[in-house]
Chain A
């Protein structure tokens, strides 16, 4: 399977600041990347689907102006949490897909965000 990295693995920021999380596909070109968030003892919730070179598609209830997604290349997608608040504290996970078989998703190890 594909190797996917996320950076940083954990980050603490102050309320009102912005945080950028990177997701990299290290060994294949990913036409599609997904961003999930996970609260403790809850399932992964899809936030948005990101296709290289086009705007991300956000799930219902996800604020696209707050969670900015950029997929500028076939190996890199970024998620920026703008004006973060404590309720944004969560575990953010990305996945990449080669696009041929839609169930094929390769996941990054996740980024723990804590907003104080």
Chain B
């Protein structure tokens, strides 16, 4: 079956620090990979996606590269802001299905 493993949080960083949130996966078939973000009091929002190996998804300064050889999709940002404080979920879909498999989420806290 499919599964997604994320690093546990919370991750606490100072503003302008470099961010990495690790995500690895196991999947039957060839998955599409996603990062979702959930700001306090809001629903999950799609942050970025990659649908094939070596693709790089990017949005709002965040990026993640689909690494098939290491089955990873780590989220990175070069300089975080306080407004990036949220919970980040890594997820995948396989084949033509519509069922998302999520990781447990990683809470990010960015302090001044």
- Tell me, yes or no, whether A binds B: yes
Taken together as a complex, chains A and B put the C-alpha atoms of A109 and B93 apart, in Å, by 22
- Cβ–Cβ contact A102 & B43, under 8 A: no
Q: How many residues of B contact A (CB 8 A)?
A: 25
- Inter-chain CA distance A49–B72, complex, in Å, is 28
Q: Are B45 and A1 in contact (CB under 8 A)?
A: yes
- As a 0/1 sequence over residues 36 to 48 of chain B, the CB contacts with chain A under 8 angstroms (1 = contact) are 1010011111100
What CA separation (Å) do A1 and B44 show in the bound complex?
Answer: 11
User: Are B98's CB and A108's CB within 8 A?
Assistant: no
Pair B105/A102 contact, Cβ less than 8 Å: no
Contact of A46 (CB < 8 Å), options: B4, B38, B100: B100
Interface residues in A, total, Cβ within 8 A: 21
Q: Which residue of A lies closest to B40 (CB)?
A: A109
Please, how many angstroms separate the alpha-carbon atoms of A114 and B65 in the complex? 39
Q: Is A97 an interface residue (CB 8 A)?
A: yes
Q: Which A residues lie within 8 Å of B98 (CB)?
A: 32, 49, 97, 102-103, 105
Q: Is the interface of A mostly helix, strand, loop or mixed?
A: loop
| B4: nearest chain-A partner, CB-CB | A43
B93, B101, B104: the one within 8 Å of A102 (CB): B93
Q: Which residues of A contact B43 (CB under 8 A)?
A: 4, 93, 95, 106-110
A1 interface neighbour in B34, B38, B46, Cβ under 8 Å: B46
List residues of A (20-75) whose CB comes within 8 Å of B's CBs: 32, 41-44, 46, 49
- For residue B89, CB closer than 8 A to chain A, the reply is yes
Q: Which residues of B contact A41 (CB under 8 A)?
A: 8, 104
User: B61 an interface residue at 8 Å Cβ cutoff?
Assistant: no
Q: Are A103 and B32 in contact (CB under 8 A)?
A: yes
Among residues of B, the one whose C-beta sits closest to the C-beta of A110 is B43
Which B27-74 residues have a C-beta within 8 angstroms of A?
Answer: 32, 34, 36, 38, 41-46, 49
Residues of B within 8 A of A1 (CB): 45-46
The 7 closest A-B pairs by CB, nearest first: A107-B43, A102-B98, A107-B44, A43-B102, A44-B102, A43-B104, A109-B43
